[in-house]
Amino acid sequence: MRLLVSVGAGSLKKNFVRVHVRDHGDDVVVLDKLTYAGRRENLQDVEHEFVHGAIEDPRAVAEAIDGADAVVNFAAETHVDRSIAEPDAFVRTHAQGTYVLLETARARGVRYLQVSTDEVYGSIAEGSFTESSPLAPSSPYSATKAGADLLVSSYHHTFGLDTLICRGSNNYGPYQYPEKLIPLMVLNALHGDRLPVYGDGMNVRNWLFVEDFARGIGHVLEHGVPGEAYNVGGPDECPNIEVVRRVIELTGAGEGLIEYVTDRPGHDRRYSLGSEKVRALGWEAQVRFAEGVERTVAWYRDNAWWWEPIRSGEYRAYYERQYGRALS
């Protein structure tokens, strides 16, 4: 099978491409405009073709889709805090980009999978969201992801396009850009920098190891029913402050580094996904949080070559803007 993976040089995409090339023998074309989190070196150990371009550019998409049997769109402006500071890129990538990819997939008649997020359902105090829960997004990030999901469904409903949607919970693991909670805490702890916890630290996330989500997306691509959405949730839920304490234990840092900072505006309290539907297709998460976070900390400890250029580049300015203090 030949796959077009759009926006494919981040952590999840790397894992997805590796699994498909290595385990399925697929040909993969990666289309990516290589913004701050998409890095060519993430894919240096995986055979693939690469097209440098944006998903909202019809010419780049037409070039990349040539000969593909399926499109997997990671539609990937991923960071909620950036969507609050600068929503325009989120509208462009998720709305216009998804539209261009859908149109191109429709013209070629190829299967289309949209990678989405549990955040489209909003926050839930108790219980878990199913695929038929209403969409109630809270941030520019999740609202543009929800809009893209609706557009995908409309292409199935109106044009009969063979579409699938995969909604994942919070990913973590190697190669994740250190704007996200776990890699940020790991690198700050390793450097003796403050650990900025938003609000009271009791927001709960449903943690999913990146390799499990990559396999889940592949599983849905292979076995999913056209027109359907599938939740792919992690096996464990955990309040942020416990995640931070676990990172402190694993890095040997001190609790004194914890700093409670101003909460994220509109911060969702808790996410929780029910994943029975994808389990019925035969997918199961394999990595529990305790093991995954240990593997993640070990990876960051051993791979300074990967994060050193990040901590000395654009990220440094982002960090100062976001947290009002410099990194050490």
Q: How far is the CB of 39 from ligand DAU (least distance, A)?
A: 17
**Span near ligand DAU by CB under 6 A; candidates 8-16, 24-32, 59-67, 190-198:** 190-198
Q: Residues 181, 214, 238, 247: which binds ligand DAU (CB under 6 A)?
A: 181
* Cβ–Cβ < 8 Å for 190, 130: no
User: Is 141 one of the catalytic residues?
Assistant: yes
- Closest residue by Cα to residue 10 from 22, 18, 1: 18
- Residue 72 CA from chain centroid, whole number: 13
State which residue, 155 or 207, has the beta carbon closest to ligand DAU: 207
- Closest residue by Cα to residue 205 from 149, 267, 150: 267
Q: What is the token pair recorded at 39?
A: 């890095």
**Span near ligand DAU by CB under 6 A; candidates 107-115, 117-125, 284-292, 299-307:** 117-125
If one asks whether residue 18 binds ligand DAU (CB under 6 A), the answer comes out as no
Which pairs with CB-CB distance under 8 Å and at least 24 residues apart come from 303-307?
303/174, 306/41, 306/175, 307/178, 307/183, 307/187
User: Concatenated DSSP letters for 168-223?
Assistant: E-EEE-TT--TTSHHHHHHHHHHHT--EEEETTS--EEEEEEHHHHHHHHHHHHHH
Catalytic residue among 99, 112, 121, 141: 141
State which residue, 123 or 153, has the beta carbon closest to ligand DAU: 123
State which residue, 118 or 236, has the beta carbon closest to ligand DAU: 118
If one asks whether residue 198 binds ligand DAU (CB under 6 A), the answer comes out as yes
Q: Residue holding tokens 């931070």? A: 244
User: Is 314 one of the catalytic residues?
Assistant: no
User: Is 118 one of the catalytic residues?
Assistant: yes
Residue partners of 45: CB distance under 8 A and separation at least 6: 18
* Cβ–Cβ < 8 Å for 65, 28: no
Which alpha helices (H) appear in the chain, and where do they start and end?
11-24, 58-65, 80-85, 88-90, 98-108, 140-159, 181-191, 210-223, 240-251, 276-280, 289-302, 304-311, 314-323
Catalytic residue among 118, 211, 236, 268: 118
Q: Which residues within the stretch 239-278 sit at the binding site for ligand DAU (CB under 6 A)?
A: 240, 264, 271
If one asks whether residue 163 binds ligand DAU (CB under 6 A), the answer comes out as no
Q: How far is the CB of 181 from ligand DAU (least distance, A)?
A: 4
Q: How far is the CB of 192 from ligand DAU (least distance, A)?
A: 16
Q: How far is the CB of 196 from ligand DAU (least distance, A)?
A: 4
Catalytic residue among 119, 179, 212, 268: 119
Which residue number is nearest to ligand DAU in terms of Cβ? 117
| C-alpha angle 61-96-208 in degrees, rounded to nearest 5 | 85
Q: How far is the CB of 305 from ligand DAU (least distance, A)?
A: 23
**Span near ligand DAU by CB under 6 A; candidates 23-31, 62-70, 116-124, 149-157:** 116-124
If one asks whether residue 207 binds ligand DAU (CB under 6 A), the answer comes out as no
Q: How far is the CB of 16 from ligand DAU (least distance, A)?
A: 15
CA distance 288 to 207: 9
Residues near ligand DAU (CB under 6 A) are: 78-80, 117-119, 169-170, 180-181, 184, 196-198, 203, 205, 240, 264, 271
Residues assigned a catalytic role: 118-119, 141
